[in-house]
Amino acid sequence: MKILSLNCGSSSVKYSLFDWEKKAPLASGVVERVGVGGSFVSHEVPGREKLELKHDCPTHKEAIKLVIDTLTNKTHGVIEDLKVIAAVGHRVVHGGEKFVKSVVIDSKTLEAFNELAGLAPLHNPPNILGIEAAQDLMPKIPHMAIMDTAWHQTMPASSYLYALPYKWYRDYAIRRYGFHGTSFLYVAKRTSVILGKDPFKTNVIVCHIGNGASVNAVKDGVSYDTSMGFTPLEGLVMGTRAGDHDPAIGLYVMEKEGLKAKEMDSILNKKSGILGITEKFTDRRDVEMAAEDGDERARLTIEIESYRLKKYIGAYAAAVGGVDAVVFTAGVGEKGSITRARALDGLEFLGIKYDAAKNELSRTRNAETEISAKDSKVRIFVVPTDEERVFVEDVAGLLNGNYDVHTKFTYAFQKSDYRNTLRDRAFEKECVKKPGLADIAAHPAHRVKVK
């Protein structure tokens, strides 16, 4: 059984093809610059050289057709034709309050997604375009939706309601929704495995830090609170998003500069955050290099971002009544040792104490590592996320008829002997170059013996 996963953004289509029987990825890639000219596909197959092909894709339909053609190509493809694909899983950013788990897509589901488009105008419309295009190209294959917001539907009203006129919630569904749900689900459940605890007796704080970033307070194995809100704008300092700020600032500047709502929305989402402070960077690596070279604005950006993250860790530790672990994931979370260190500095009074050497060593996306100090009461992990694995298992569960909400469904990656063979092989190569890396592998079953 082969499962295709699609993640359609405004100008890109990410994809992966997974062999369920062999429990192995067959191929993955991304079509870039959809609808903007100069589009191309970057295609990767385990054991082969990365392939890049240029092809004009004015719409998502051409982009998905390019994905299909690439996967079935006689030279660089991995399947003969579409008949071997059992189902397609689609990422849908916003499921509102209507969806608490992944679902099979039908006309009513699409209608609901369109109704919710106003809650995520930057994300849901391209998600829907991708679904419709894929259905046109693969009409005989079942399509499923995996919602980013579903994981957070366990939050209590005290966490998700704002102190705004209740009428707004009743009439317009204005509330905290949270995002990065598939990432948080994977990381929270993997952390329970590492800890050797029942997932529903585990409290963790997960920090998903990439260009978009959010923190999740997980209490007794379910989402209790999260930093992103009604939209992905709230919370941490991000690449181009402002995160937490006084909403009156936007109103003040709009009046001063005669800006319209859409213009301010663009500024807060696309011209703020790290880019707003530095006025030239969005990538943390560039910020760190500039700070080392004496750029004061870059140094200040690191301090602001880390301080915001530290505040959330402290607040969420109080919210859940103490934590078993603090976990970092996503691009910066997995490789950004400076951001992790600055965020954790000074949290010893909460029993959170990291080992500087382990933290510096842990810059890998191929293994779960532990960076706690020996005397830390709270364990600290770096767990590479695997959202595609959640996609695949949800789709397989829906196909097999045994899928349910995550509190009633057990994922394969919740088993203590679960392995990702591709990551294992890559980690073994890393360990040869970085002596000591194998020693900080978080779970004994995943440690690599370096020859």
Q: Of 104, 131, 147, which residue is a domain's last?
A: 147
CA–CA gap between residue 335 and residue 285 (Å, rounded): 10
Residue with tokens 């990538």: 283
How far is 212 from 183, CA to CA, in rounded Å? 12
Are 142 and 186 members of one domain? no
The pLDDT, as a whole number, for residue 447 is: 61
Which of these three, 335, 362, 382, is where a domain ends? 382
Q: pTM of the predicted model, to two decimals?
A: 0.93
Q: Is residue 353 part of a domain?
A: yes
Q: Are residues 141 and 187 in the same domain?
A: no
Tell me: do 212 and 348 sit in the same domain. yes
Query: 142 and 200 in one domain?
Result: no
> What sign results for the dihedral spanned by CA atoms 319, 323, 326, 330?
negative
Residue 260 lies in a domain: yes
Q: Could you give the number of structural domains in the chain?
A: 2
Is residue 62, in this structure, part of any structural domain at all? yes
Concatenating the DSSP letter of every residue in 287-337 gives HHHHHHTT-HHHHHHHHHHHHHHHHHHHHHHHHTTS-SEEEEEHHHHHH-H
Phi (first) and psi of residue 250, to 5 degrees: -60, -45
* Residue ending a domain, choose from 382, 413, 443: 382
Residue 298's CATH number: 3.30.420.40
Task: Supply the pLDDT for residue 49.
Answer: 86
Catalytic, out of 56, 136, 148, 345: 148
Give the per-residue pLDDT at 8. Answer: 86
Q: At what angle do helices 284-292 and 296-319 cross, to 10 degrees?
A: 120
Q: Do residues 359 and 241 both lie within one domain? A: yes
pLDDT in tens, the chain (451 residues): 899 999 888 788 889 999 999 888 899 999 988 888 899 999 989 888 889 999 999 989 999 999 999 999 999 899 998 899 999 999 888 888 888 899 999 999 998 888 887 777 777 788 888 899 999 999 999 999 998 899 999 999 999 999 999 999 999 999 999 999 999 999 999 999 999 999 999 999 999 999 899 999 999 999 999 999 998 999 999 999 999 999 999 999 999 999 999 999 999 999 999 999 999 998 888 999 999 999 999 999 999 999 999 999 999 999 999 999 999 999 899 999 999 999 999 999 999 999 999 999 999 999 999 999 999 999 999 999 999 899 999 999 999 999 999 999 999 999 988 988 888 888 888 999 888 898 998 876 556 554 4
Chain centroid to CA 37: how far?
27
10 and 63 co-located in one domain? yes
Q: Is 148 a catalytic residue?
A: yes
Cα–Cα dist 310/306, whole Å = 6
**Is there a single domain that holds both residue 69 and residue 218?**
no
Residues 26 and 129 in one domain: yes
Range of the domain at 50: 2-147
Q: What is the pLDDT of residue 9?
A: 81
Element (H, E) at 52: strand 51-54
Neighbours of 254 (CB within 10 A): 15
- Amino acid occupying residue 284: R
